[in-house]
Chains A and B, each alone.
Chain A
């Protein structure tokens, strides 16, 4: 059970989206992805739903943190939400 860290906050659009999508297939059972982004990546959400992923987002004035895991992976969901 691993957390994969990805900081895309200094990248120009659409590189953050590309990096996040490239990282998704690496998520194994129990794994989740933590992304740091300078904005809320709204276009990402539709893609995540399409690919069978779930997510949790928190934004403040410093940027956004997005946690992503595979839909149905209860262990990863628990770990992501508890982190």
Chain B
């Protein structure tokens, strides 16, 4: 039984704090697409090309980390009943530094060289450090303890490790390390970023979001309890083991990848057992994302053995196919929901003060389903084009770039539309 006391949503941050991050993210996708349009086949041919590294960081830091920061600021108070401390200050500090740091890094990889890389790494670190401290404080003060919370905490630690490894890499590119060490550091940086920061955060979010929003059965308790800590512990072991026995790299990652594949397969299985069978765009995105993660695991040994196009396919399946599909699906749900929810708060205050209701738009009016569907089609086309790119790199890399610009441009414009609808509805309250 519960009464008036449970008001965790009252602790939610002001709307502009998550929106600052969420609204900025699609435009980094547009930049990534524009970069592919400009450089063509370069990133496809060699993952060590500056253009490939710039592209990867525009997507991982720009689209992914920016969105994850926004979603975490919003989600944490609801999940743990404690607000992110000094959230306005953290958002106002982290956002510009993360944006500027990502742009500087991308430019450093493309043409700017070491000074821009150092500036980019410093900006990113300085921007994300207070964010991580604030998240850590909120998690430490949490009034509840559950598996999602633990997964989110481990994801934050993984982000810190990823950033440190990235900073070591930037120092290494300045000539302080051997090429073999740089290759190993890059592998560790990528693994902690994708499997640790992104994978663990997705796991924590999935335990909550999939059963709630997709009306599936719950994930099995054993999976919720052990998967995230197990994945994290395995990643921790990769640090000393791969350093002491470099020959084991990258095969030492196999158990962690199998853990992620297990989660993906389980999610697909749960989604087949959902109790309501109506079409749902977020569900389509999640199905695509989980299927791509499974395919990435199948491709991974081939990429590790043979390199070449297999590495491009692996990266495409893992990042735009897997992680960014899941993210797009969530963003298309979160942004209109938050706007609608804040309008409902105004509505309730209006009801209490004046006794009547004002007509406010439904979520689907704020972000029409047709707009979301077009975004989905463009995302799907971009993904298919990216997968086909090794067949005709010169042409298809640019086609993929154009489609990425269109898909993320539409997402960014859809969010602006949501904001305009929100502002217009808010005007009715005077």
A interface list, Cβ under 8 A from B: 10, 12-14, 17-18, 21, 24-25, 39-40, 42-43, 45-52, 54-59
**Contact across chains for B9 and A25 when beta carbons are under 8 A apart:** no
Shortest distance in angstroms between A74's beta carbon and chain B's nearest beta carbon? Answer: 16
**Contact across chains for A42 and B212 when beta carbons are under 8 A apart:** no
**Contact across chains for B344 and A58 when beta carbons are under 8 A apart:** no
B316 within 8 A of A: no
With A39-B212, A47-B345, A47-B348 as contacts: A54 and B78 at CB distance below 8 Å: no
Shortest distance in angstroms between B269's beta carbon and chain A's nearest beta carbon? Answer: 20
> Restricting to B343-387, which residues have a CB under 8 Å from any CB of A?
344-345, 347-349, 351-352, 356-357, 362-363
A51 to B345, alpha carbons, bound, how many Å?
A: 8
**Contact across chains for A52 and B1 when beta carbons are under 8 A apart:** no
**13 further contact pairs, Cβ within 8 A, besides A43-B341, A51-B351, A55-B3:** A12-B213, A14-B337, A21-B344, A42-B78, A43-B78, A45-B6, A45-B7, A46-B9, A46-B345, A50-B348, A51-B347, A55-B4, A59-B2
B143 within 8 A of A: no
> Restricting to B320-341, which residues have a CB under 8 Å from any CB of A?
337, 340-341
Shortest distance in angstroms between A42's beta carbon and chain B's nearest beta carbon? Answer: 6
A48 to B362, alpha carbons, bound, how many Å?
A: 19
B275 within 8 A of A: yes
With A12-B215, A21-B347, A47-B344 as contacts: A42 and B356 at CB distance below 8 Å: no
A37 to B8, alpha carbons, bound, how many Å?
A: 19
Shortest distance in angstroms between B272's beta carbon and chain A's nearest beta carbon? Answer: 17
**Contact across chains for B351 and A25 when beta carbons are under 8 A apart:** yes
B interface list, Cβ under 8 A from A: 1-4, 6-10, 12, 78, 212-213, 215, 275-276, 278, 280, 337, 340-341, 344-345, 347-349, 351-352, 356-357, 362-363
Chain A residue numbers with a CB within 8 Å of B6 are 42, 45
Chain A residue numbers with a CB within 8 Å of B4 are 45, 49, 54-55
A42 to B12, alpha carbons, bound, how many Å?
A: 12
Pairs A-B, 8 closest by C-beta atoms = A51-B348, A52-B352, A46-B9, A50-B348, A57-B2, A46-B10, A51-B351, A47-B348
Chain B residue numbers with a CB within 8 Å of A46 are 7-10, 12, 345
A17 to B9, alpha carbons, bound, how many Å?
A: 14
- Point out the residue from B2, B78, B352 that lies within 8 Å of A51, measured CB to CB: B352
Shortest distance in angstroms between A65's beta carbon and chain B's nearest beta carbon? Answer: 10
**Contact across chains for A25 and B357 when beta carbons are under 8 A apart:** yes
Chain A residue numbers with a CB within 8 Å of B363 are 14
**Nearest chain-A residue to B336 (Cβ)?**
A14
A13 to B212, alpha carbons, bound, how many Å?
A: 7
Shortest distance in angstroms between B248's beta carbon and chain A's nearest beta carbon? Answer: 45
A45 to B345, alpha carbons, bound, how many Å?
A: 11
A13 to B351, alpha carbons, bound, how many Å?
A: 23
**Nearest chain-A residue to B214 (Cβ)?**
A12
Among A17, A24, A40, A47, residue most surrounded by chain B Cβ atoms (within 10 Å): A47
A56 to B341, alpha carbons, bound, how many Å?
A: 22
Q: 18 A-B contacts, Cβ less than 8 Å apart?
A: A12-B215, A12-B276, A13-B213, A21-B344, A25-B357, A42-B6, A43-B341, A45-B6, A46-B7, A46-B12, A46-B345, A47-B345, A48-B348, A50-B349, A51-B347, A52-B352, A56-B2, A57-B1
Chain B residue numbers with a CB within 8 Å of A50 are 345, 348-349, 352
**Contact across chains for A49 and B7 when beta carbons are under 8 A apart:** yes
Shortest distance in angstroms between A22's beta carbon and chain B's nearest beta carbon? Answer: 8
Chain A residue numbers with a CB within 8 Å of B7 are 45-46, 49
Chain B residue numbers with a CB within 8 Å of A42 are 6, 8-9, 78
With A12-B276, A42-B8 as contacts: A56 and B3 at CB distance below 8 Å: yes
Shortest distance in angstroms between B158's beta carbon and chain A's nearest beta carbon? Answer: 28
A57 to B3, alpha carbons, bound, how many Å?
A: 7
Chain A residue numbers with a CB within 8 Å of B213 are 12-13
A50 to B341, alpha carbons, bound, how many Å?
A: 12
